[in-house]
Structure 1
């Protein structure tokens, strides 16, 4: 009787993540550090502007209300970016993450719906309050988190996960930020496995809350929970060390668990650890990423058409399959909801020649001509088999003309990046102008280049208010 050779046991998803996070033999890549320079300055900038939004103000007020009675505001070691306040690392991650996502002007990944920097940087900078860090350590940790974000999203897969209504920034973001934190603090494999298990049990976040204050809080909660997961695991707190692939684990609950995809996880992680530099975008406009290409198309069409939007009879917009998922299917009722209305953002681009922060107030919705133009915009998705990743806008005029724009990369995409001057201009639109703010931008931009360990909290606090 012949005996079949035993089949090698497949390495589980959690073990593949742990092995990837713990590797120390990767060569530093100049491209990742260059991308992180821009993302650091941009994310801090939009967070400082976001601190003034109702969502961030209420979260910060709640955090400060947790201080023992009679002691005033809570104190800690981690900076609330752009302010003199210090909080505990988890609380700071919650506030800064919420603020970074509050204006929907933070980074995005063109390949999949996610906002990596708005979750990863609040986590890493909060954990960096525990000890000085080098630019190389931040670069390695950020790249690990970026890879985990994308590779786990592929394994779910993202289309299934997002299609069920999960906000990937919040769900997979917790795992990615936890992985980044474990790398930054150089935790061993057993501790890292437990940290991932803890984070997986905290995962949540629904697309139904897009257009409300809860949506930006998703990023803050993901950052806070990552800090918590890392801290608890470091102290010996346990979770299932094979949580992701276990029955009833992360992949079962949030995706369509396929062992064949899981088997390729390690390969995808190694791809994305440097490949993420070709898959990030710094938004030019303060609205949902799904609107960005259409806005670019609208601005280009306006140049050809001129300001005579009254000549437009109708506009057809087609997005990739699933491209409308984060967008509103009804008209916006307030400025926050307008960030998720492609019809509104395209109408503003055609009417005004730009899309700015001031276009997302409740009052801006009443601008003459906006509602009428929105009513002439038709939105649709292309079939699944057609090429993803681009938006087509067809503008029909009353005299029979057809003007078409097909946008593959929006302004700010890594394939069409903002210039240094444009990046600085966005930063100053967020934080204000003046010599002190210009110096702050330069210093933030240089954070990934620090050769010696440094304390980042004073830098993140920004110049004094009078500066």
Structure 2
């Protein structure tokens, strides 16, 4: 493949490439991954990601924004290639990836990895599921492609994720498009050169703004990333051309979106050798940036048996990066409440279940006890709490006592079996009301057997069941 010539004006306005071969090196790593390379812990975590994704996607399928996207797909029509989960609808693989991706991010209850400052599974799984259903891929191939895309997304994130996020890009949207492309290229069996082309096509599609947090466009980012990554891989498979150095070239993704193209940083092995080992699952149905403060508040309430009447004032100390992410001071809707440190901490101190979806309705935002407590909470941006995962909550009681608690939500679970149990409890809480307890249990079993499936039709068939709340 040929690389388009760079014009004189390009050279005059853009920095020179500093790491020739970054895109190709990442593509080669992704394309070369085999199922035999995956240790048991990585395979278990991949299955846990799929289980968690199914849970949040089925629960999210009932959201108004998902109905709008499904209605649009019905009106546009298309070949029935892949399942739209919970809607008894089959549509084109790209439309299915778009809708399912948005559904799985609609509740902001999906997993996180801080290496890419984003949500990997909602960008990767919808595209892979649609492609695997269309092409008849096995569960083993699906799982391997997921890990390939996950690792690629995080490796690019190490070189540019924080910078992109600071500039105002939603990295689930930008890096998620690249991760989806790498995952789908792997499932299609593309070689390193064509995978680099897919990453190049995905690079020119990558977009998504953090200013959209708290509204329907944020979950749309995940759907778009998944669908665009799938599209990029399919085009590359047909011979569509792109720059094979799109990440590192002048005016390429890193130059325009932010970051430093470093091959050493991108390929450096994380602790344990896999980025997937650092996956963080959500057990509160709100932005991950609120979780450390929620946990600290919950601990203070439990340790000191606090009631709202005991609390005179609360300081929530967080990193500066929380501003513009999860610091909506006066949320007006349930969706905005998920991005409000003041509101979620008030919920935790008032004893409201922050894991329950019914706690984030538009009506619940105005609940008198929580709203009154929210007025006594201030958020302070401090250098002592870098990033989004470390917070300190200080409660000043009516009796004059000062109580402090820190929490770091950035540490992955060390006991994967205990995490499996907790994820299954979360899954049943989300899915039982949608499909019923019996169907939920069957899905848990089917995901556990993923690598034994010759194709994903049994899984797709179960996900096609119309949700009780999605009677379209």
Pairwise same-fold verdict (TM > 0.5): yes
**1:236 counterpart = 2:236:** no
Match of 1:81 among 81, 85, 98: 85
Deviations 1:208-248 (A, max 9, x none): 11011011000000001011111111111111122111211
CA contact (8 A) 2:117 2:157 kept: no
CA distance in 2, matches of 1:443, 1:59: 28
Judge which range, 126-135 or 244-253, deviates more.
Answer: 126-135
Matched residues in 1 for 2:387 and 2:137: separation? 42
Which SS does the other structure have where 1:246 is aligned? coil
Alpha-carbon displacement from aligned partner over 1:31-69 (angstroms, at most 9, x marks no partner): 1111112111110111111111111111111111112xx
- Residue 139 (1) aligns with residue 143 (2): yes
2:340 aligned with 1:337:
no
What's the counterpart of residue 3 of structure 1?
none
Counterpart Cα distance in 2 of 1:437 and 1:262: 44
Q: Distance in 1 between matches of 2:385 and 2:351?
A: 35
Kept in 2: contact 1:141–1:183 (CA 8 A):
yes
Using the size of structure 1 for normalisation, the TM-score is: 0.88
The structural deviation recorded for 1:436 is: 2.5
Q: Closer, same or farther in 2 for the Cα pair 1:263/1:308, shift >3 Å?
A: closer
SS for the counterpart of 2:274 is helix
CA-to-partner distance for each residue in 1:153-206, whole Å, 9 max, x for gaps? 2212x2321111100000011011101111121102232122111111111100
- Is 1:267 matched with 2:267? yes
Alignment partner for residue 248 of structure 2, among 245, 248, 251?
245
2:375 is matched with which residue?
Answer: 375
Q: Which moved more, 1:415-424 or 1:100-109?
A: 415-424
Deviation string, structure 1 residues 410-462 (Cα, Å, up to 9, x no partner): 7x943476644432232222222322321122212332x32645545534525
- SS of equivalent to 1:241: coil
In 2, Cα distance between the equivalents of 1:129 and 1:387? 38
Is the contact between residue 321 and residue 384 of structure 1 (CA under 8 Å) also seen in structure 2?
A: no
Match of 1:215 in 2: 218
Cα-to-partner distance string for 1:303-355 (whole Å, 9 max, x where unaligned) = 12325211111111122342344113431111111110011111111112421
Conserved 8 A contact 2:395-2:404: yes
Preserved contact between residue 150 and residue 272 of structure 1 (Cα < 8 Å): no
String of CA shifts for 1:71-112, please: whole Å, max 9, x gaps: xxx441211123432111111000000000000011112455
**Number of the residue aligned with 2:392:** 392
Matches of residues 307-456 of structure 1 in structure 2 within 5 Å?
A: 307-355=306-354, 356-383=356-383, 389-409=389-409, 413-415=412-414, 419-432=419-432, 433-447=436-450, 449-450=451-452, 452-455=454-457
1:18 paired with 2:27, answer yes
Partners of 2:86 and 2:51 lie apart in 1 by 12
Stretch moving more, 313-322 or 452-461: 452-461
Find 1:48's aligned residue among 14, 33, 58: 58
Aligned partner of residue 159 in structure 1, secondary structure: helix
Please report the RMSD computed on the Cα atoms of aligned residues, expressed in angstroms: 2.5
1:185 to 161, 164, 188: 188
Q: Structure 1 residues 465, 344: closer, same or farther in 2, change over 3 A?
A: closer
Q: Distance in 2 between matches of 1:272 and 1:195?
A: 28
Among 94, 100, 124, the alignment partner of 2:98 is 94
Where do 5+ consecutive residues of structure 1 fail to align? Answer: 1-8, 68-73
Correspondence 1:98-137 to 2 at 5 A: 98-137=102-141
Corresponding pairs, count: 445
Q: Identify the structure with the greater helix proportion.
A: 2
1:318 is paired with a residue of what secondary structure?
strand
Match of 1:31 in 2: 41
Give TM-score, length-normalised by structure 2. 0.88
